[in-house]
Structure 1
Amino acid sequence: MSDVVSTSSTTRDGHILRPYGDTTGDGMVQLSFTLPMPHSKVAEGAAAQLANKMGMDPALVVHAKPMGPDFTFFVVYGRVNHLVDTSKVQVVERDYPLLSPKEVNLAIRKGLRRRLVVVGGCIGTDAHTVGIDAILNIKGFAGEKGLEYYRELKVVNLGAQVSVPHLVERARAEKADAILVSQVVTQRDAHILNTKEMSAAFRESYPRDKQPLLIVGGPRFDETMAAELGVDRVFARGTTPGEVASYLVDQLVTHRPPRTERRAS
């Protein structure tokens, strides 16, 4: 896994960017990755070679640290010639108003005249509940209270390693309006496979117009993949409880559209 860190400069048209590190427009970036070989001069040479093949020229190994006896972590600094056209960048922008807890509760009370039911958890073998707890638990995240704090929300947190059949069963038993699933384990695309399994199970178990809202989140999800995964919304890293609560109100109270745009994968 690698991580590119740099600032950027903007050309006159405001769309074409080139990264820079020391002087504006110099194209310098910093790249980190791990190679499966013990630390040595040969390993450092291999890291520089890899960086060269990725388009960094020159590439300078500025940090190398053994990660146990058989792996080495590297940081490489060098120049790239690539440009970024920001006019062609595709992202998912928030297309609903951000509401306060008071506004969320009022909207649900007036619009539904009952509590909105949310069932959440980590499916498959995923035992990392930090993400789902940050959204659901009252302690919340980033200074915001979690969904349990909202009076008009009934929150059922199933915790870790929830099987998809059990999730569907509890959703039906609780008459869930929305399903929130967190996936942190991503080896061999486990998060994608688990999400597709979940969405398929809900399609099979519910009539199309009766399905609960399906929401998935995690640090390695691409927010543009909702249709491909068969869910209504993908939330990436940094999402706050307030954003999720506002989205629930927008979809289940304010608009309540039939969610027929999901497609099987």
Structure 2
Amino acid sequence: MTLDSLLALLQDHTITLPLGLSVLAGLLIGIEREFRGKPAGVRTHALVCLASALMTLLGLRMDEWLTTLPPDAQIVTDMARMPHAILTGIGFLGAGVIFREGPAVQGLTTAASVWLTAALGIVFGAGLLELGVIGTVVALLVLVLFRLLQRVLPARPVIRLDVVVPQASALDAAVLSKVLDRIGLKAGPISLSQDVALGLRRYKLLAAGLDQRIDCDEVARAVRDTAALHKLTVVPLDRDTGN
């Protein structure tokens, strides 16, 4: 490698344009994830998209590899294997951002965005620039506009409450529903179980809200200020419909 060969390569638009667009696509999708405070943000998406484009370009330029072959040897390639290998490897990376919290599974949207970013890198690396641009725009529309659409849809469960009170407590299902209403949450069906031996009542429910970013401390304070509690558990559910 010489300086002249490096400069010549940088002037080759069949390489620089796919790589540049792949980084831009990864940055745009990563910004949306970063704005939502997700573990895979700008750098992760940009690197995944760039790496996918690089690997695709590497496979397409196999005839330029420095290798010694026997006389009259022929190279037989199957470019379909490269995208398959890339997306399989990205699957392990995407699985790292998925986790379960109580009854909810979080990180699915971020895992899907990482997988999609890798696919866009493959498309750019293969030279299908227009298709890559269209894919990037559609991905951003899904991530941004569909989130806005969710604001006009019916409220969905955002927290799970488990409240244990003494048998003589004034807090019951009706009072608990009113407390949640005051902080903008709507209580779902409330189950009740009683431990007669210990003199305790236990309420379990899911509460829905339009704002997916729930302050668990605020919810706990509102319930605690209503009556004396024996035990209180507040578990946030899937706060951004897949994360």
Q: Which is greater in Rg? A: 2
TM-score in terms of structure 1 length: 0.25
TM-score in terms of structure 2 length: 0.26
